[in-house]
Amino acid sequence: MFRIALFLGTNIAILLVLGVTMSIFGVEGILDEQGINLDLASLLLISSIIGFAGSFISLMASKWIAKKTMGVTIIDVPKNSTEEWLIEVLKTISSKAEISTPELGIFKSNQLNAFATGASRNKSLIALSSGLINQMNKDEVEAVIAHEVSHVSSGDMITMSLIQGVVNTFVIFFSRIFGHIVDRMIFKVQKGHGPAYFITSLIAQILLSILANIIVMWFSRKREYAADSSAANLVGSYKMISALKTLSLKSKTNLPDQMAAFGISGKEETSFKSLFSSHPSIESRIEALLKHS
């Protein structure tokens, strides 16, 4: 799974663009109280505006990014019996979950995967890989759809964006403080800000964004367990367990981060890399389902 790919990459890019724009238009001047010390209250306010803007722009663009990057074909009118069955299953499960039926799409990939994305519960997209449809039995496909519907019904995409917004805020806040400290203590700039402030701030922002991603991915792993449990309630735990076992045997994810956080399989990592994984191991997910079945 791409750990620092589309979702984080888009988010960082937006933050950098907004940060540079802020500097060009002199907005950061209000952060410099009397040209000497940072105005922390103003800094926190501006950081929160930029931080949440980056997160919600990413959220609003998520469905469009998914369709373009993954080559998702939306099923508006079923072309065969398989597509008819998929739409019927999605409608049934969505009704049980008490949400509007999401758009259903298919993307070409031999890998077994699926994802949910979208700006809200009622304007979401669920996409399945062609490999998953062809290699899983109907019970397992049904469980995968239920898993993705659970992400949508729980509002995980909105909550993820809120958490990302909070994280972004503190990334920007502390990166500017680091830039200010370097500017004043190392380069001895006494008033205003020199080039070191902007360079240090941008570098710190990128590094802190990567570290802050640990928090976002921790939340994502917790939501995977919840989505599995919800799917088990919707279609039966044996179907969800069977789907996970098939994924464990056949699946290697290849989803951008924008979608990977709400994909079905994820890539299992070990040791330090597991901190940056959006999914817990499939074995631990099966164990959790068995305990509650």
* Mean pLDDT, range 114-130, rounded to an integer: 92
Supply the range of the domain harboring residue 26: 6-62+158-213
What is the structure's pLDDT at 6?
47
One domain, residues 21 and 108: no
Q: Picking from 7-21, 104-118, 149-163, which range would have the lowest pLDDT averaged per residue?
A: 7-21
Clarify whether 142 is annotated catalytic.
no
Of 28, 142, 148, 224, the catalytic one is 148
* Mean pLDDT, range 269-282, rounded to an integer: 77
One domain, residues 151 and 227: yes
Q: Picking from 53-62, 114-123, 182-191, 221-230, which range would have the lowest pLDDT averaged per residue?
A: 182-191
One domain, residues 262 and 224: yes
One domain, residues 168 and 225: no
* 291 HSE (CA, 13 A, CB side): 9
One domain, residues 259 and 142: yes
What is the structure's pLDDT at 44?
82
* Mean pLDDT, range 80-107, rounded to an integer: 97
* Mean pLDDT, range 134-148, rounded to an integer: 97
Confidence of residue 25 (pLDDT cuts 50, 70, 90): very low
Query: Does 5 score more than 50 pLDDT?
Result: no
What is the structure's pLDDT at 84?
97
Contact 126, 149 (CB under 8 A): yes
Residue 37 lies in a domain: yes
**End residue of a domain, out of 170, 189, 213:** 213
Give every CB contact of residue 91 below 8 A, 6+ residues apart in sequence.
Answer: 101
Record the tokens describing residue 156, joined without a space.
């995980």
Residue 227 lies in a domain: yes
Taking the CA atoms of 222, 168, 10 and 208 in sequence, report the sign of the dihedral they define: negative
One domain, residues 236 and 132: yes
One domain, residues 82 and 144: yes
Q: How many domains does the chain have?
A: 2
pTM for the complete prediction?
0.79
pLDDT tens digits along 61-72: 889 988 988 999
**End residue of a domain, out of 194, 213, 232:** 213
pLDDT above 90 covers a percentage of the chain that reads 43
What is the structure's pLDDT at 2?
32
Of 43 and 101, more confident = 101
Instruction: Indicate left, alpha or beta for 32 from its phi (over 0: left) and psi (-120 to 50: alpha).
Output: beta
Q: Could you write out the three-class secondary structure of the chain?
A: CCCCCHHHHHHHHHHHHHHHHHHHCCHHHHHEECCCEECHHHHHHHHHHHHHHHHHHHHHCHHHHHHHHHCCEECCCCCCHHHHHHHHHHHHHHHHHCCCCCEEEEECCCCCCEEEEECCCCCEEEEEEHHHHHHCCHHHHHHHHHHHHHHHHCCHHHHHHHHHHHHHHHHHHHHHHHHHHHHHHHCCCCCCCCHHHHHHHHHHHHHHHHHHHHHHHHHHHHHHHHHHHHHHHHHCHHHHHHHHHHHHHHCCCCCCHHHHCCECCCCCCCHHHHHHCCCCCHHHHHHHHHHHC
One domain, residues 115 and 225: yes
Residue 196 lies in a domain: yes
Q: Which residue has the tokens 């917004």?
A: 165
CA dihedral 8→14→17→20, nearest 10 degrees, is -80
- Nearest to residue 293, comparing CAs of 238, 231, 228, 218? 238
Residue 188 lies in a domain: yes
Contact 125, 72 (CB under 8 A): yes
Residue 1 lies in a domain: no
Query: Does 26 score more than 70 pLDDT?
Result: no
What is the structure's pLDDT at 266?
55
What is the structure's pLDDT at 254?
53
Cα(162)–Cα(165) distance, integer angstroms? 5
Q: Which residue has the tokens 């164990």?
A: 287
One domain, residues 86 and 141: yes
* Mean pLDDT, range 215-234, rounded to an integer: 94
Cα(32)–Cα(249) distance, integer angstroms? 57
**End residue of a domain, out of 183, 213, 243:** 213
Residue 247 lies in a domain: yes
* Mean pLDDT, range 144-168, rounded to an integer: 92
One domain, residues 119 and 194: no
One domain, residues 34 and 141: no
One domain, residues 194 and 174: yes
* Mean pLDDT, range 20-41, rounded to an integer: 56
CATH number for the domain including 136?
3.30.2010.10
What is the structure's pLDDT at 292?
79
What is the structure's pLDDT at 289?
95
